[in-house]
Amino acid sequence: MNKSKIEERLLEQKPNNQQILEDTSVSPSIAKPLVVGSTDGFITDAQYKEAFDSLFEYEKEISDHNETILKTLGKTAQKDFADLIDSCSSVGKIEFVDEPKGDAQNESNGIFKDVHVDQWSVGDSGDSYAGFIYAKVNKQWVSINYEC
For 45-80, how does the pLDDT look when each residue is reduced to its tens digit (9 = 90+)?
899 899 999 999 999 999 999 999 999 999 999 999
**CA dist 62 → 16, 75, 102, 104 (Å):** 37, 20, 23, 26
d(Cα 148, Cα 140) in Å, to the nearest integer? 25
Domain boundaries, the chain: 5-36, 75-147
Regarding beta strands 89-90 and 140-147, do their DSSP bridges make them parallel or antiparallel, or are they unpaired?
A: antiparallel
Q: For position 127, what pLDDT does the model report?
A: 81
The Cα–Cα gap between 31 and 147 comes to 34
pTM over 0.85: no
As a whole number of angstroms, the distance between CA 86 and CA 109 comes to 10
Confidence check: pLDDT of 23 > 50: no
Q: Is the sign of the CA dihedral 95, 97, 103, 105 positive or negative?
A: positive
| Higher-pLDDT residue of 63, 42 | 63
